[in-house]
Amino acid sequence: MKCILMNKNKEVLVAEYNETSKFFDYIYEIKDINYAPYILKSFYLKNDINNTPFRTNLSEWFKGRGIPSWRDKLDLLLHRLNIMAPYELLDKAFGLSLSDQYWLKPESSDLSYDDINFFDNDFDYAEFMEASLSNNNMSITKESSLITPNNTTDGMLKKAWIIDNGVRYLLKGGYKNETLQPFNEVLASEMCKRLGFEHVEYTLDKYKDIVVSKCPCFINKDTEFVTCHQIINDMPRHDSIEDYEDYIKKLEKEGIKNAREKIENIYILDFLIMNEDRHLNNFGIIRDVNTLKWLDVAPIFDNGQSLNVEYYDEKEVHISGSGRFFYEVKPFDDIIKVVKNIKRIDISKLDGIVEWFDELLHKYQHLTGYSDTRINKLCILLNRQINKLKRLIEK
């Protein structure tokens, strides 16, 4: 199929798209490489637009928009959707997403972005939400249920986009039999709010006796989320703190104000809740898709893999104490050292949050089945991290 890769209403390139392999077999013309997905620009050669790295990475980028192979209970989801592989969903809705404005337009089509984007146009989501989040053994019955932004969601957790009073919200469940992730998201949101960190607001919701987190989409039809992975893809790799410093310099060069402090805030939060999964695709920047101007650091989001208590006895809480720091895995006590001025944090703003979290966990105890002992473990760990940060601030 001959098609045009679009960024909103801007033509990026014209290519031959193989609907079976989901590969771009040939590129006919580059319309405007500046409006291409950021990660592709480093593979672009003006005099050889069909060079293998460019076409391969274009194809991998597009297939990567689909639900990943490591999604929890993926086999069950595929069965319910009546498809063999996640990438089959990409053609259902032109590859549209709620994370950016890219879409694949058949050359013969007269469709416009305004006709089909999911920011302005409603979509069916009830059946997909049921297939993704419920324990029922059901299958999709309406083809329209596959024309949704749920086709292009990343991450390992079961999730679904919904519309509530006109607002696009993402619902996320726990991982396998673990149900703590939604509570961690809400805890992180509350901590950010108290500390003044820019963040995505998470609340708890219930879907058929399953506790889920609920957060609004943090971009709009004029912006896109560009991940740290995309930004540093063509930068020298050091496997050291230099990767972090180079990233901050890049953001500052692009005009983002207070970039260092906003990135530091991410690692302060990760220290407090011991977030083990700050990978390069769950932080980045917000870019204007019309002007290509870098607007700001993306608000803090995706904090579910936290507070991992391995086991507990009367004397000690045993934990997994390492987090991700760019290409490295390091102890949280080392990661927090990147913060230049830790004394700027008013730790007193977290007074009472341990009790707040304890009350939240007990409120949903009838759904999670958490024992009082487990809730106590989690609160002990949270209190310990807050006190550790307090001691660092008071040094």
Q: Are 231 and 245 in contact (CB under 8 A)?
A: no
CATH number at residue 187: 3.30.200.120
Using alpha carbons, select from 221, 295, 299 the residue that is nearest to residue 257. Answer: 295
pLDDT value for 175: 82
Q: Which residues pair with 18 in a beta bridge?
A: 23
Q: Is the pLDDT of residue 314 over 60?
A: no
CB 5 within 8 A of CB 102: yes
Q: 198, 216, 234 — which closes off a domain?
A: 216
Same domain (yes/no): 170, 279: no
Instruction: Give me the pLDDT at residue 125, please.
Output: 92
Q: Which of 216, 236, 259 is the last residue of a domain?
A: 216
Residue 211 covered by a domain: yes
Quote the percentage of the chain above a pLDDT of 70: 97
Q: Please indicate, yes or no, whether residues 123 and 172 belong to a single structural domain of this protein.
A: yes
Residue 312 lies in a domain: yes
Total domains, the chain: 3
- If one compares 250 and 127, the residue with the highest pLDDT of the two is 250
94, 123, 131: which is closest to 111 by C-alpha? 94
Residue 393, H or E segment: helix 372-394
- Assess whether 320 and 390 both reside in one domain: yes
Q: Are residues 387 and 240 in the same domain?
A: yes
What digits encode the pLDDT tens for the residues 317-331?
656 579 999 999 999
User: φ, ψ for residue 224 (rounded to 5)?
Assistant: -145, 155
Residue 361 pLDDT exceeds 90: yes
Distances (CA, A) of 295 to 9, 227, 235, 241, 284: 20, 13, 21, 25, 11
- Across the strands, what pairs with 30? 13
Q: Are 197 and 227 in the same domain?
A: no
Q: Does any domain span residue 68? A: no
The whole-angstrom separation of Cα 7 and Cα 103 is: 7
Per-residue pLDDT tens digits for 185-220: 999 999 999 999 999 999 999 998 889 999 999 999
pLDDT band at 313 (very low <50, low <70, confident <90, very high): low
CA distance 182 to 205: 9
Measuring CA to CA, how many Å separate 384 from each of 339, 370, 373? Answer: 19, 21, 16
Measured distance CA(254)–CA(15) in Å, rounded: 31
Tell me if 314 is assigned to some domain.
Answer: yes
363 shares a domain with 241: yes
Q: Are residues 208 and 336 in the same domain?
A: no
* Predicted confidence (pLDDT) per residue in 28-55, tens digit: 999 999 999 999 988 998 889 888 999 9
Q: Is residue 7 part of a domain?
A: yes
Let me know if residue 315 belongs to a domain.
yes
User: For 60-97, what is each residue's pLDDT tens digit?
Assistant: 999 999 998 888 888 888 888 888 888 888 888 999 99
378 and 237 in a common domain: yes
**369 plus 234 within the same structural domain:** yes
CATH number, domain of 227, equals 1.10.1070.20
Domain that holds residue 19: 2-63
Distance CA 103, CA 159 (A): 22
Tens-digit pLDDT profile for residues 170-180: 999 988 778 99
- pLDDT at 31 (0 to 100): 96
Q: What are phi and psi of 58, to 5 degrees?
A: -60, -45
**Has residue 228 got a pLDDT over 80?**
yes
Examine residue 69 and state whether it is found in any structural domain, yes or no.
no
Instruction: For residues 255-280, give the mean pLDDT.
Output: 97
Does residue 296 sit in the same domain as residue 246?
yes
Indicate whether 181 and 253 sit together in one domain: no
Model pTM score: 0.94
Band (143; pLDDT cuts 50, 70, 90): confident
Other C-beta atoms lying within 10 Å of the C-beta of residue 5:
27
- Name the domain boundary from 216, 249, 269: 216
Pair 258, 383 in one domain? yes
Average pLDDT, the chain: 93
Expressed in percent and rounded to 5, the helix, strand and coil fractions of the chain are 40, 20, 40
* Gap between the terminal Cα atoms of the chain: 64
Task: Using alpha carbons, select from 86, 8, 113, 95 the residue that is nearest to residue 58.
Answer: 95
Buried b (16+ CB within 10 A) or exposed e, 120-157: eeebbbebbbbbbbbeeeeebeeeebbbbbbbbbbbbb
Q: Specify the residue for token string 């917000």.
A: 286
